[in-house]
Structure 1
Amino acid sequence: MRQTVPPLPEALVPCFDAEGDEPFTWLREAAATIRDQRLAHGAVLVHGLPLDGPEGLVRARDALGIAAHTPTEAFNNRSDFGNGIVSPITWPGDRMICPFQEASFSRTFPTVVLTACLAPPDGAGRTHLGDMRRMAEHLPAHLADRVRAEGWMMSRSFHAKFGISWQEAFSVPDSAALDEVLRAAGIESSWLPEGTLHTMRHRPGFLAHPTTGEECWFNQISFLNAGNLDPVERRVMTETFGKYLPTNTYFGDGTTLSDDDLAAVQHAYDAVRTHVRWRRGDLLIADNIITAQGRSPFEGAPAFLVALGED
């Protein structure tokens, strides 16, 4: 992923300060207002909650009336603290994470993502937000129309001793259980000669928000595309795995994205990207369909917890 971005405006999301001696009671009473603001603006930031561990995030999620979401497929290893609380995706701290929507490669996905800041990053570390309702206006019309009409495809190959295993990704003990999960998820699969599981799925590129009806860009066609790898890393992986890279993406008809296509998508992400500054005790409540999230490189020893949720 690219390591530099132009200066970003601060996110104009509604901010609330938790009030009183019973902040979770206040949060419960403010839940309807926070939900309305989330739907209008894509995210809400609450300051001053006692979020010092998984239990605090569970209390916040419950106060907001949000149910826990259980993913059907993992992208990479995350620490699981139980009760629907996990760590952010594993990613080197000195690398930027391009904005993405959680599990947008799956048929089932969280509608809300809650991120609790237990310890903020040092220096200029920021979380990036992108309004996916505005992506299409910044894309070439032919590209937006193509993704809208065709959707996109994702290829994933589980190579031994590289990344997580298919057992970990799909939380299954054996191939029989795997077959059931893949059928339910609409994922095609095959076994390569060396015993590597190769999967392919077709997904829509845009979604109509289930509450507002707004059209939202909802995919990882850029984030998981091999063209966005560091050139040296891409060459090494291509030499090692051939065409069966750990992940890659295509247009809905299986056509490869060009460098110009990827640059256009990245430009659109940049055009809608803003940033959030963190304080200890902050809770970011983001609509996972409206808002993509990423981050700048982080310094220090930041600590975050994530709750994937459903309205």
Structure 2
Amino acid sequence: MSETVPTLKEASIPSFEAPVASPFSWLRDMAAPLRDQMLVQGAVLLHGLPLDGPDGLAEARDALGFASHTPTEEFNNRRDFGNGILSPINWPGDRIICPFQEGSFSRTFPSAVLTACINPPDGDGQSLLSDTRRITHHLPEQLADRVRKDGWTLARAFHDRFGITWAEAFSVTDRAALDEIFEGAAIASEWLPNGSLYTVRHRPGVIRHPRTGEECWFNQIAFLNAGSLDPVEREIMVDTFGKYLPMNTFFGDGSPLSDKDLTDVQQAYDSVQIGVRWRRGDLLVTDNIIMAQGRSPFEGSPEFLIALGDG
């Protein structure tokens, strides 16, 4: 999506300071009110936890009462530290990651995302949060209604020696297991003459939150669209792969998005976006349906860990 970093509002999510003594006991005692706050505000930011590696994040996840979520499909290669702890998606540090919701292209997705700051970025690097309950209010009515009614379509192709393989994406090694996944996930597939795998799935674009009943924008129709690529990179992709691009999105009826559609969606995210600055040991807990999460460009050697939670 757009590489322009918008002017960010100060973080307005609630923040809490863990006590030096028995911080994880405090976290267990505070789990219910913290999760209630997350449902209202979309996210909470916790300071002062002893988060210096995967074990600390796993303990924090468990203390908050979340079960570990295992993705059914990966967007790109992530390092797996075991016990449900992952690295963030692999993305160049000098590029913005527009806010997105984990697993929104899948039938199953985590209810919460826990992001631990092991080492903060230099300079002004921030996480970007967008409240998806407010997205449709900032879209042209016709565009919002179209996605609400028809959903969206993701086409994904796996090409030899380019990007993540289908075996890595779906954590299987044979086609029979892959076909079983596709059947359960309602993904149509086609093997191309050159051996590449082409997949298409249709997903809802707006869903109701299972706890609050609120309408939430839940898709990656703009983030994964070919029109959001750098123009030079997009031209290379089209020259190389034709219509079978590694990722592309469409409206639910298969129609393409216009440049204006993409701009309108990006501006809607920007309109509700806030920035969260990081300190070492911070834990950002977001409701994965209510709050889309990305980041600004990062400088230095920041280190983050991710836990996807259910429940």
Q: TM-score when scaled to structure 1?
A: 0.99
Cα offsets for 1:245-290 (capped at 9, x unmatched):
0000000000000011111101101101100000001000000000
Cα offsets for 1:91-122 (capped at 9, x unmatched):
00000001100010000000100000000000
Match for residue 48 of structure 1? 48
Match for residue 250 of structure 2? 250
Q: Is the aligned partner of 1:220 residue 2:213?
A: no
What is the rounded CA distance, in whole Å, between the counterparts of 1:236 and 1:201 in structure 2?
25
Cα offsets for 1:5-38 (capped at 9, x unmatched):
2310012101000014100000000000100000
Percentage of identical aligned residues: 68
Q: Which amino acid aligns with 2:97?
A: I
After TM superposition, which residue ranges in structure 1, 4 or more long, deviate above 2 angstroms?
none
Q: Which amino acid aligns with 1:237?
A: M
Match for residue 171 of structure 1? 171
Question: How much does 1:215 deviate?
Answer: 0.2
* Residues 20, 48 of structure 2: 8 Å contact kept: no
Match for residue 85 of structure 2? 85
Match for residue 21 of structure 2? 21
- Unaligned 5+ segments in structure 1 are none
SS in 2 for 1:293: strand
Q: Which amino acid aligns with 1:156?
A: R
SS in 1 for 2:99: strand
Match for residue 295 of structure 1? 295
What is the rounded CA distance, in whole Å, between the counterparts of 2:187 and 2:7 in structure 1?
39
Over aligned residue pairs, what C-alpha RMSD do you find?
Answer: 0.6
Superposition pairs for residues 261-300 of structure 1, below 5 Å? 261-300=261-300
Q: Is the aligned partner of 1:305 residue 2:310?
A: no
What is the rounded CA distance, in whole Å, between the counterparts of 1:303 and 1:71 in structure 2?
21
Match for residue 231 of structure 1? 231
SS in 2 for 1:304: strand
User: Matched residue pairs, number?
Assistant: 311
Q: Which amino acid aligns with 1:251?
A: F
Q: Provide closer, same or farther for how the CA distance between residues 122 and 20 of structure 1 changes in structure 2, counting only shifts above 3 A.
A: closer
What is the rounded CA distance, in whole Å, between the counterparts of 2:10 and 2:226 in structure 1?
30
Q: Which amino acid aligns with 1:249?
A: T
SS in 1 for 2:146: helix
SS in 2 for 1:157: strand
Match for residue 30 of structure 2? 30
* Residues 5, 96 of structure 2: 8 Å contact kept: no
* Residues 20, 26 of structure 1: 8 Å contact kept: no
- Unaligned 5+ segments in structure 2 are none
